Each structure stands twice: as C-alpha cells, then as structure tokens.
Structure 1
Amino acid sequence: MEHNRFFPPHAGVRLGDLAARLGAELVDAAHADRIVRSVSPVARAKDGDICYILSRKMRAELETSEATAILCDRALASLVPASIAVLISPRAHTAFALAGELLHPSAMRPEAMTSASGGVAPGAYVDPAARLEPDVTVEPMAVIGKDAEIGEGSHIGPGAIIGAGVRIGRNCTIAAGVTVQCALIGNNVIIHPGARIGQDGFGYAPGLKPGMIKIVQIGRVIIQDHVEIGANTTIDRGTMDDTVIGEGTKIDNLVQIGHNVRIGRHCGIVSKVGIAGSTRIGDGVMIGGASAINGHISIGDGVMIAAMSGVVADIPPGEKYGGIPARPMRDFLRDVAEVAMRASAREKKKGGKDE
C-alpha cells in the first residue's frame, strides 16, 4: 500500500518473528526472513505488507495482490498465490489486528498535537491543588481543575478541560477538546477528540405554570479500565446514582448515553446510538449503529441489536433483536420478507391491470 506521512511504515519485522508473536503458523519456513513493515487491503498490497482473508469471496482480490504475507484460516490457504507467504491462524482477523498494533503503534490512540513531551506545556493551566503523578503530559490550552488527580503516563491533549475533583487513572489518553467533569476514570482509557463526559443529564419536572423545572443532577460518571470512547460522544452524569461504563467497553463516535445508564463489560456500541436514562445493559452486548434504546429497561448479557433498531422493552440474555420496535431477529426477518412479498404481489397485480 502507498504509505502516507501520518502513519509511516515500521522499520521491519521478520515474518518468522511476527508469526511467533501472533501465535500463527508460518506454512513455509523458507519465508521466515521476509520483512513486513505495514498492513494493507489485499487488492492493493505491495511488498512489505501483510493482509488477511476471511472467505473465498476474496479470491479476485488476491489476483492483484503483491503482499509479502497473508493471514488466513487453514481452509483458505490454497487460495493464496505461491509468491505470497501464508500464516495460518484460526482467528485471522484477530491476528491481523495484533499485527497492526505491532507495526503501527502510533495509530492505536490519539497522539500529541504539539511537540510537548512530558510535563506541563506553556499555555496550559494546572490548578495548584491538582495532583499529577510523574510522566503526565499536559498540552497547551488544556485546563486541569482544582483537586483533579491524573495518573502516571497519562496524556491530556490541547484544549481539554479536566474539571475539579476528576480522577483519571494511569496510561490514559484524553484527546484534544475533550471535557471531563464529575467523573472517575480508570486505567488505560482512551477518550477521542470532542467527547463530553459528566455534564448534567436531561431531566425536568412539570412546572406549576406552563413549562418545565430542571431536576438537579448530582451523580457521577464512572468509566472503568480499558474503555475507549469515540469522538463527540456524550455521557451524562447520574441524577442521584452514577452513570457507569464497564471495563473493556468500546463506544464509537457520536453516541449519546443518558444519566444513570449502566453498561456492562466488553460491550460494543456503534455510532449514533442513543441510550435513554436509567437503562441497564449487561456484559458483552453489541448495539448496531443509529439504534435507539428506551429508558428504564434492561438488556441482558450477550444481546445483539441490529443497526437502526428501536428498543422499547427488556431483552432477555443472549437474544438477537432488530427492527422498530425491536423484536427477535427471526420475527423481524420474517416480517421484512412478508412486506417484500406483498409489495411484489401489488406490483404484479398493477402490471396485469396495465396490460
């Protein structure tokens, strides 16, 4: 693949060493000294690139590939041209992700926007009552509030605002323009540019006259270890309880999470999802893009929700739901098929009348 200035190729890793790091099997030991420097799509790969394939549908892409190596399942190895080294892995996608992390570590989290490296940059403000452990970087125009605590190895990007009393763990990245208030954040957390964490939630009571009265929001946001939060995502603090994001959960860009929501461990939430207040989401839940989740409901462990679904009621553990309103996937697909059949029948009937 043609490389750009933002993510230059690695200095080089021996294929034999890479296979060992990935737990993959190098089919031909004679290829062990080949050097890989980057990752690439199969069809555009050049010498020094490593790619992966997951199905026979990618056979045509292999015809134009000049990759150094391909990761794949053993059943697909025969598709790879003889000129390309083969690494066998039962989880080729996972192995490819690990290879990418090794070859392009700088792309794994937002990097510094300025040349600041360690310490507090000129132009940043750190309140005298804030406490920073060693090796914390604070870039220009960032503000660290009173009694805030930031752990060793963490990085605060330019223009980020860390509110009074906020605690941020070790090896965290808080990117440019992020606002964090009323929050406790664990270790190894990544928050991408423009995210808003800990602002008050949307809560109002009917007024005595026409209009609404604001309900006080005095809870917190608790973000556990190894969470990643996408750009311009918003997470409201709790009303009187806490909003909680469980360990290892990954949240895409432009997601809205309301007050008192509790999300379990290792969930995946895709762009433009909206989760209303006081919803409980179990561990390992996957929510497709642009889905809307009603408030005060429970979604069980391991649930999968299709993109653009509207979830209005509880979902038992392990289920797959889709549609508006969301229902078991088999029912949703049957309804979609029935609508398509009726539309086709109407078109045929209309065509017969025209004749």
Structure 2
Amino acid sequence: MDRHSFFPPSEAFSLRELANRCQAELVDEGSGSSIIRGVSPVYRAKEGDVCFIASRKYRAELETCAATAIICGSGLEGYVPAGISILRATSPQTSFALMASLLYPAALRPTQVQTSGISPSAHVDPTARLEADVSIEPFAVIGAGVEIGAGTHIGSSVTIGPGVKIGRGCSIASNVTLACTFIGNNVIIHSGARIGQDGFGFAPSATGMVKIVQIGRVIIQDNVEIGANTTIDRGAMDDTVIGEGTKIDNLVQIGHNVRVGRHTAMASGVGVAGSTVIGSGVQIGGAAGVNGHISIGDGAQIAGMSGVITPVPAGAKYGGMPARPLGDFLRESAEIMVRAEGRLKKKGENNG
C-alpha cells in the first residue's frame, strides 16, 4: 500500500518553483526542472521526493538516500551524495514544512467527511446565520443565534452552543463542543476539543463548596490551532483569550481567565491554572504545569515537565520542579548526579 494513501500529493512542482516559494536556494540551477511529487524522511526517500537534514547524525542514512533533492544548511552540503540536488536553506525544517504544505494541502486541516453543503442529518437552528460556502457534516448541532463565516467547515457530531460566533475559513473537526466562544478567521480546532465550559471555581463554606458562576467568554483570535481533546475554560467574570497565531497541542488544559499572547506554542499535556497571563512568542514544553495568577513574559521558554509557580521574566529559559532559570536547574541536576554516583562508588568500596 502506498504510504501516502490517505494524503496523496495534490500536484507536482519543479525544484526551481519550490525553491522560489519556500525560502530555499537551488545550488545547481541546472536541476531546476527536476520534478518533486512528494516528501519523505531521508532513510526511505525515493526519486521524486524531497527531504531535509538538520544535523550530521543523518550521515549514515544519506548513503542510501535516493531522493531527488535534499534541503540543508550550507554546513551540511558536503554530506549530500552526488546526484541529489541541494536546496540550501537558513532553516531547513521551515523550508521543508512550506514545501510539504504545497504538496499536501489537504493534510493541513482535519480530515473531512464531505467537502461542501449541509448534511440533511445536521441540525441547524433557524436563527443561525451562515455565510456562503459553509459545510456541515452529519449529526452536527448548530444552536440558536450562531454565526458562521464563509468557507468554514463543521465536522460530524460537533455541538455549537447558542450565540457562538465563528469566523471565515475555519475548520472545526468532529466531536468538538463550543459554548460561550467567539472565534476569529482561519482557526483550526481538532477532534474532541471542549471550549467554553465552566471554569473551576468554588468557594468553601461551612456546609461544603459553593459553586462560583462563570459568566465570561472564550475569545480565540485569528490563525490559532487547537489540538485534539484540549479544553479551554470560559472566564469567570472576565474572558479567557487565546492570541493570534498561537498553537496549542493535544490534551492541554487552559483554565478560566487565562490570557495567552500571539504566536505562543504549548506542547501536549500542559496545564495552565486560572488567571495566568502568558506573553507572546512563549514556548512551553510538554507536561509542564503553570500556577495560577502569575505571568510569563514574552519570548520565555519553559522546559517540558517543569512546574512553574512564580512569574517568569521575558526571554528567560526556565526548567525543573519548581521551575527556575534553566542554567541553575541543569547545574543542580548535574551536581546531584555526581553526588549520587560518589555515594554509590563509596558504598561499593565499603562492601568490597
């Protein structure tokens, strides 16, 4: 079976066209008419494929590589076998991603059951307003007063609550639920995401926990992507906001009143407690936990599995549990390992 059977390339491109459109320089202009039909990892690339290398650790795989072209930085060109065209790039991974998006545009969005129209088995409230070219798959439920912009696709079994507004060119995958939410343009939400439900708010009393009403909204700005089974709580009194261009992985939890800036990235398993402010351009590694009511400055980086309990300055790199400057954490970890090894060695000498 063809390994790309779910996402066959849409069309072929010449190397020259790909280089011009994807931030790469074709080293040998004579190979510009060579045709690229697909992408592949180095070890199984064949004629018509393009692949990329970002480090010398792929040298062994290059020896048997049969790709038509390889994207790499100038420092790695010497490792590319003769007969394979070189696309020189400052960021090989970025150029590769751009090329792959041209070859496989359908893979940029969640898989669709149908491409256009409204399924007869979908329920659309008569007061909902849909612009042109909206498609809705079977068993979706569109509530009262919902607004959906042109070119947006709603997957099967999606539930959209009353008053939700969705912009143009969005993709809402199957089994998503949306409530109390405003969504911008070109937003992608993957299967099973839950957005706009109650935030976690309770006040203790002599007779038990008293529920605090959550009457805010979720605001998702343009070009955001939200992973499968991620949850984003609506605000309590204020709004939960996800800034333009931010990318959120699968299984992330974002609490009420959290504000996330522009072009921030969160990997799988991140949990952000309520009322925290995360700046723009922040990167948070997988399974990190972020305490509530703190701030993370613009451009900060948080290592995976860290526990952030205090504010993080702009541009800082933090890691560990509790999170602290990454250099301090690494030095402390190295010292602990050295001491542990010393104790084991001493114990072994005593036993001997």
Shorter-normalised TM-score: what interval? over 0.9
2:91 alignment counterpart: 91
1:284 is matched with which residue?
281
Q: Counterpart of 2:39?
A: 39
User: 1:152-175 CA deviation, whole Å, 9 max, x = no partner?
Assistant: 000000000111000000000000
2-side partners of 1:261 and 1:245: how far apart? 8
What SS class does the counterpart of residue 112 from structure 1 fall into?
coil
Structure 1 residue runs without a partner (length 5+): none
Matches of 1:117 and 1:56, distance apart in 2: 43
1:23 positional shift: 3.3
What's 1:19 paired with?
19
1:271 counterpart residue number: 268
RMSD of Structure 2 on Structure 1 (CA): 1.1
Deviation (angstroms), 1:10: 3.9
**Alignment of structure 1 residues 154-173 onto 2, 5 Å:** 154-173=152-171
1:46-85 equivalent positions in 2, closer than 5 A: 46-85=46-85
Measured in 2, the distance between the counterparts of 1:128 and 1:237 equals: 26
Q: What secondary structure does 1:43 align onto?
A: helix
Contact 1:230/1:251 (<8 A) preserved: yes
Where do residues 134-173 of structure 1 align in structure 2 (5 Å cutoff)?
134-173=132-171
Question: In the alignment, what sits opposite 2:344?
Answer: 347
Q: Which amino acid aligns with 2:306?
A: S
Moved more, 3-12 or 294-303: 3-12
Asked whether the 8 Å contact 1:10–1:38 carries over to 2, the reply is no
Q: How many residues align?
A: 352
What code does the residue aligned with 1:172 have? C
Distance 2:11 2:108 in 1: 17
For the 8 Å contact 1:320–1:329, the answer to whether it is kept is yes
| Aligned: 1:334 with 2:331 | yes
Cα distance in 1 between the residues matched to 2:241 and 2:157: 25
Partner Cα distance (1:179, 1:43) in 2: 41
The answer to whether residue 178 in structure 2 is matched with residue 189 in structure 1 is no
Identity %: 62
| TM-score normalised according to structure 2 size | 0.98
TM-superposition CA deviations, 1:103-157 (whole Å, max 9, x none): 00010011312xx332211100000000000000011100110000000000000
Counterpart residue type for residue 88 of structure 2: I
Give 1:242-253 correspondences, 5 Å limit. Answer: 242-253=239-250
For the residues of structure 1 that align with 2:115 and 2:42, how far apart are their CA atoms? 36
Q: Secondary structure at the match of 2:42?
A: coil
**What is the identity, as a one-letter code, of the residue corresponding to 1:21?**
R
**Would you say the 8 A contact 2:10–2:105 is kept in 1?**
no
Corresponding letter in the other structure for 1:49: D
Given candidates 254, 258, 263, the residue that maps to 2:255 is: 258
TM-score, structure 1 length as denominator? 0.97
1:21: how far off?
1.3
Q: Are 1:16 and 1:26, in contact at CA under 8 Å, matched by a contact in 2?
A: yes
